[in-house]
Amino acid sequence: MKALILVGGYGTRLRPLTLSVPKPLVEFCNKPILLHQVEALVKAGVNHVVLAVSYMSELLEREMRVQEQRLGILISLSHEKEPLGTAGPLALARDLLNVDNEPFFVLNSDVICDFPFKDLLQFHQNHGKEGTIVVTRVEEPSKYGVVVYESDSGRIQRFVEKPQVFVSNKINAGMYIFNPSVLSRIQLRPTSIEKEIFPIMAEEGQLYTMELQGFWMDIGQPKDFLTGMCMYLQSLRLHAPERLHTGPGFLGNVLVDPSAQIGENCSIGPNVTIGAGVVIEDGVRIKRCTVLKGSRVRSHSWLESCIVGWSSSVGQWVRMENVTVLGEDVIVNDELYLNGANVLPHKSINESVPEPRIIM
Amino acid sequence: MLKAVILIGGPQKGTRFRPLSFEVPKPLFPVAGVPMLQHHIEACVKVPNMKEILIIGFYQPNEELNRFLFNSQQEFKIPIRYLQEYAALGTGGGIYHFRDQILSGNPEAFFVMNADVCSAFPLAEMLIFQKEHGEPNSFVILGTTANRKQSLNYGCLVENENTNEVLHYVEKPSTFVSDIINCGIYLFNPEIFQHIGTVFQKNQQDMLLYPYDGEEPTNGWHRAEVIRLEQDIFTALAGQGKLYVYKTLSFWSQIKSAGSAIYASRLYLNQYHTTHPERLASNKQGGPNISGNVYIHPTASIDPTATLGPNVSIGTGVTIGAGVRVRESIILHGANLQDHCCVLNSIVGWESTIGKWARVEGTPSDPNPNDPFAKIDSETLFRDGKLTPSITILGCNVTIPSEVIVLNSIVLPHKDLNRSFKNQIIL
């Protein structure tokens, strides 16, 4: 089986992290975002993953060669010279996807959930039509495009963009499975699959939905990245509690790489991910944060709702909060206060940032 | 013999020092670990032949003041008396009212100083200057140099550069007059009372000519006895060959606002290296990490993993937990700073508690460090309708919960906060 992942461009929404590392390789809960998806696809029987990318990164290519070996699958990069939207990349990869008569998966690269690919394949084969999209329930449907469908069969009736009157609380979760016949509907030009392809398929009765169980999050920007982390760690608590770190000084769901060092009298958690080789010195308080590989947090600091970029150093008695994101190799000097700071890579900070802003 | 008079004002004064002046009269607020007034007294007792210190103000006698006077007399072996004015009489009216007390024992000269200044108090130098400049029975004002802009906030004086005679005196002018400002420290001799008496007589006559009709809201300033040294005496004496300025290069600052108390503490702590090295904490085995000038009261309990300084004063019975950081701050007696909390540019009130990992931070209002003549700005609380970022002040018995931040805020006494606050006055 095959799958196409819409990786897209520079991942500007996840800057400053994506200034150093292509978005698919940014670690989410100590694993590159892309591998969460690829590993789930492999479990569902996928043996060829096509990455639709709009810029080429040597780092990404090299890493994919490594993963091909590790997972025993084929990973292709399909490079669009101009942005092709959400449908165009399928046309570009037509020759890779249309080799047999098997259905294939398509997914947005920013989505994190308990990936339901096996169930999706099963459901798709049961109804026998051209496509199935996964939907998820949201609290405020007025902010999204919602999907209206027959509840017993799952057959989609229509899509409504930002409904002002309640019609449905289910939205497109960015995961699909299609029969190869879908490819004949798509031209090689910039096309939106949601706006130009799905409505026609729905009208023809060819598009079904399957509702996602459990959590779902688009982690394309830092604020949602942290929210998604909380959801993912709670899911680990339910399904693989042995992977979470427990003991004195740890509160709630905390994921710690075995190579990380944690000092004495710390209070870590709830909802913290600590990456490989990270050093947390004594008396540090961290909650709702991701600390990426190779970073150091010095003693008595206090961090909430932050992402600490690779190989960064946070000084003593620093307070960081409100979705402060440090890029790679940032130094935050002792005793500073960072409130919602977005710090570009290789920067040394000597002054507090009391109100949210970007530090070039 | 010599005497000294310290003018401490009264409870209506020093409102810029709130909420700290609610709990203790401002002159007793600790600066560099000891009451503001004690720095004056220590300077006075160093002057040879100093026989008595008189403290004049209009505070009701109170326990704090009595205890301070009692302890100081014991410690410095000199009579110290508090003379209470029946009303606010101004800087000249107060000493005039108590002229018999001041003159008893026939001092040949006496110092008068405002309580709310921080200074190296070069009193001996003023005496020498008075003797050497050649005019017997003249008066000396201690002066210092300010920058042009800030001079407008002070009494400004113009001198004869050869003789140091004061040729012109004006209080808080609206345009630039001189960059030499009045430090609020004077050397007088008994003749000063003749000059104050002249103003008193004139006021008395004016009141007979234009009797107070009870309609204008004059806040008690209708009394003949209310006399200001600056406007009423110095302005008239300038150019009469009577008034001289001794200009000092040593440190000096006003202590008007709470923010200036932190700055004044820094100046005094630095002076301790020569005057009181025993008051400065040092790094010792098993003691906290000390950086720069720090005063720690012997009754304070400090965890050895805490880091203090520079410019930190820790009061009696204060408890400081593991991994606590304090910099540029005054911690008043009985306060409790719990593990890992961080206190920067703040005054922590008596018996207040700061929770674990909390951050209490203010914005320093130090004079421009690149201008040798800059003074601390007499900051206004609000500018353009917004609270000016200033040091953070916790009133007495305030509780700050764990992990919150209190930034650039003033917390009034007996308040339990339940969340973070920034740029606010919390009633």
What is the reported pLDDT for A226?
96
Residue A162 known to be catalytic: yes
Residue in A299, A300, A337 nearest the CB of B361: A337
Q: Which residues of A touch B356 (CB under 8 A)?
A: 285
What is the reported pLDDT for B61?
87
Catalytic residue among A162, A223, A293, A347: A162
Q: In this predicted model, what pLDDT tens digit does every residue of A131-183 receive, in sequence order? A: 999 999 888 888 888 888 888 888 888 888 888 888 888 898 999 999 999 88
Q: In this predicted model, what pLDDT tens digit does every residue of A51-109 receive, in sequence order? A: 998 877 788 889 999 999 999 999 999 888 888 888 888 888 888 888 888 999 999 98
Q: Among B326, B328, B357, which would you mutate to test the A interface (most chain A Cβ atoms within 10 Å of its Cβ)?
A: B357
Helix axes A58-71 and A33-43, enclosed angle (nearest 10):
30
Chain B: nearest CA to A165, how far in angstroms? 37
**Pairwise CB contact (< 8 Å): A302 & B403:** yes
Residues with pLDDT less than 50, chain B:
217, 220
What is the reported pLDDT for B376?
76
Q: What percent of chain A has pLDDT over 70?
A: 100
Sequence-ordered list of residues with C-beta below 8 angstroms from that of A90, at least 6 positions apart, any chain:
A4, A97, A106, A182, A183, A186, A193
Mean pLDDT, rounded, for A274-283: 96
What is the reported pLDDT for B217?
46
Q: In what order do the strands lie in the sheet with A296-297?
A: A261-262, A279-280, A296-297, A313-314, A331-332, A348-349
What is the reported pLDDT for A140?
83
Query: How many C-beta atoms lie closer than 10 Å to residue B64's C-beta?
Result: 15
Q: Using only the alpha carbons of chain B, give its radius of gyration.
A: 22
Residue A192 in this model has a pLDDT that exceeds 70: yes
Which amino acid would we find at residue A273? T
SS (H, E, C) B121-142: CCHHHHHHHHHHCCCCCCEEEE
Residue in B305, B323, B359 nearest the CB of A319: B359
**Pairwise CB contact (< 8 Å): A319 & B407:** no
Distance CA A237, CA A246 (A): 11
Helix (H, G, I), strand (E, B) or coil at B66: helix
Q: Which residues of A touch B323 (CB under 8 A)?
A: 265, 282-283, 299-300
**Pairwise CB contact (< 8 Å): A300 & B356:** no
Give B379 or A323, the one with higher predicted confidence. Answer: A323
Distance CA A76, CA A40 (A): 17
Residue in A282, A285, A316 nearest the CB of B403: A285
Beta bridge partners of B279: none
**Pairwise CB contact (< 8 Å): A337 & B322:** no
Q: Is the peptide bond before A16 cis (omega within 30 degrees of 0)?
A: yes
Q: Which residues of A touch B (CB under 8 A)?
A: 265, 267, 282-283, 285, 299-300, 302, 304, 316-317, 319, 321, 335, 337, 354
Q: Is the peptide bond before B19 cis (omega within 30 degrees of 0)?
A: yes
Q: Are strands A27-28 and A31-32 parallel, antiparallel or unpaired?
A: antiparallel
CATH of A222-358, one of 1.10.287.90, 2.40.160.20, 2.160.10.10, 3.40.50.2020: 2.160.10.10
Residue in B16, B14, B131, B4 with CA at minimum distance from that of residue B388: B16
Q: Which residues of B touch A355 (CB under 8 A)?
A: none
Answer whether B259's CB lies under 8 Å from B345's CB: no
Q: Which residues of B touch A319 (CB under 8 A)?
A: 342, 359, 405
Domain boundaries, chain A: 2-218, 222-358
Q: Which DSSP symbol is given to B163?
A: T
Chain B: nearest CA to A130, how far in angstroms? 54
Dihedral (Cα; B160, B164, B166, B168), 10-degree rounding: 30
Q: Which residues of A touch B362 (CB under 8 A)?
A: none
Which residue has 């479990």 as its token pair?
A43
What is the reported pLDDT for A8?
77
**Pairwise CB contact (< 8 Å): A354 & B340:** no
Element housing B3 (H / E): strand B2-9
Q: In this predicted model, what pLDDT tens digit does every residue of A93-132 receive, in sequence order? A: 888 888 888 999 999 988 999 999 999 999 999 999 999 9
Residue in B323, B327, B407 nearest the CB of A299: B323
Ordered DSSP codes for A315-342: -TT-EEESSEEE-TT-EE-TT-EEESEE
CA distances from residue B316 to A228, B9, B43, B296 in whole angstroms, order as listed: 49, 26, 24, 8
Minimal-distance CA residue of chain A relative to B324: A300
What is the reported pLDDT for B218?
52
Sequence-ordered list of residues with C-beta below 8 angstroms from that of B240, at least 6 positions apart, any chain:
none
Q: What is the pTM of this model?
A: 0.84
Helix axes B90-97 and B192-209, enclosed angle (nearest 10):
110
What is the reported pLDDT for B115?
95
Which residue has 């690829």 as its token pair?
A38
**Pairwise CB contact (< 8 Å): A283 & B339:** yes
**Pairwise CB contact (< 8 Å): B357 & A302:** yes
Distance CA A303, CA A33 (A): 23
Distance CA B141, CA B187 (A): 7
Q: Which DSSP symbol is given to A287?
A: E
Q: What is the CATH number of domain A2-218?
A: 3.90.550.10
Instruction: Look up the ipTM and state it.
Output: 0.77
Beta strand spans in B267-385 (E): 289-290, 294-296, 301-302, 307-308, 312-314, 319-320, 325-327, 329-331, 336-337, 342-344, 346-348, 353-354, 359-361, 382-383
Q: Which residues of B touch A283 (CB under 8 A)?
A: 305, 322-323, 339-340
